[in-house]
Each structure stands twice: as structure tokens, then as C-alpha cells.
Amino acid sequence: MKSIPCVAFAAALSLYALAQQTPDPHHEGVVQRGDQVMGFSHEKTIHHFRLTPDGGTIEALATDPSDATSREEIRTHLEHIAQMFHNGNFNAPMLIHAQTLPGVPTMKKLCKDIRYDVEDTPNGASVKVSSRNPQAVAAIHDFLKFQIQDHQTGDPLTITPAN
């Protein structure tokens, strides 16, 4: 095993720390455009994207349980998004992320095979995105994995059992 000189190790740590503090212009754009498109503040809410065997879920929550305004804005947005996605319209995620998201072309093509079920939660709402079509499920997974990474939610990129 080779030893790394202390100076080289310290330099590597300094570069790592600098990289952690350097603003990511793409992510900053996602956050800014997201606030505009979604109609609620990322500072007052949190997103989660989860993969399930038949698709996954999109969840948004107000971080303050007493924040009725954010809670209602979330519910309105997710109802609207579910209807748009059901109709094969994925313009909102494209506007937020400034690109066509992975999985979207297939989700558009197979929109009749995909269900979007909205449910209110105590602090917001969730959309269960599901299908029995394996090609649609794979596209949903690609779409949600991208969301996890681009929104930097820290949610698992693996499939978890459905609730």
C-alpha cells in the first residue's frame, strides 16, 4: 500500500471542499425554474420521488405543517401535473429541467397504459404513477431516477415495495 504525502492529501481535501461549495448553475436553474413552473417555493417544501415495482410516486410536502398556503399550492400543482401527464403533456418537467427527461418519449407514446392517481397527504400530496406495461414501468423508472438526481433529493435509485 502506497502512502499519500500529507501535502497531496491536504490539497485533495481542499479541492473537494471547494467543489462542494461551488454553485452548480444547472441545479440553481432547476430550483429557480421549478419555483416558477410549480407555483410553490422550494424553500418551504420538499420533493420525494420513489420507485416501486409498478412505477413510482411523486410527492411534495410543505416543511411546516401549519403552512396551509404551500400545502394547497402543492395539491393544485400535482392535480394539474397528473392531468397533463395523463394527456401526454410533459412540458412542465421540460421547462423546469431545460431538457426532455429520460423516459418521457415512451411515457408519451404509452400514456394510455399509465395511471396517475393523486392523493392528498397531511402536508401536501402525492401522485402514484403506475402501469402494468413493462416498457411503461421502465420509462417511469427512468423519469423518476432523473428527477431524484436533478432535484438532488437523496431518494433511493432502487425499487422499493409499494405501500
Mean pLDDT of 111-140: 97
E-strand ranges in the chain read: 45-52, 55-62, 114-121, 124-131
Range in 10-19, 102-111, 146-155 with the lowest mean pLDDT: 10-19
**Domain boundaries defined on the chain:** 25-151
At position 140, the amino acid (one-letter code) is I
Mean pLDDT of 94-109: 83
pLDDT tens digit string along 10-42?
Answer: 444 444 554 555 556 544 544 444 444 455 556
H/E stretch holding 109 reads helix 104-109
Answer yes or no: are the C-beta atoms of 64 and 93 closer than 8 Å. no
- Cα–Cα dist 58/99, whole Å: 19
Angstrom distances, CA of residue 104 to CA of 86, 111, 120, 138: 12, 10, 25, 11
The pLDDT-based confidence of 163 (bands split at 50, 70, 90) is low
- Cα–Cα dist 143/103, whole Å: 5
pTM of the model as a whole: 0.75
pLDDT tens digit string along 48-99?
Answer: 999 999 999 999 999 999 999 999 999 999 999 999 999 999 987 766 657 7
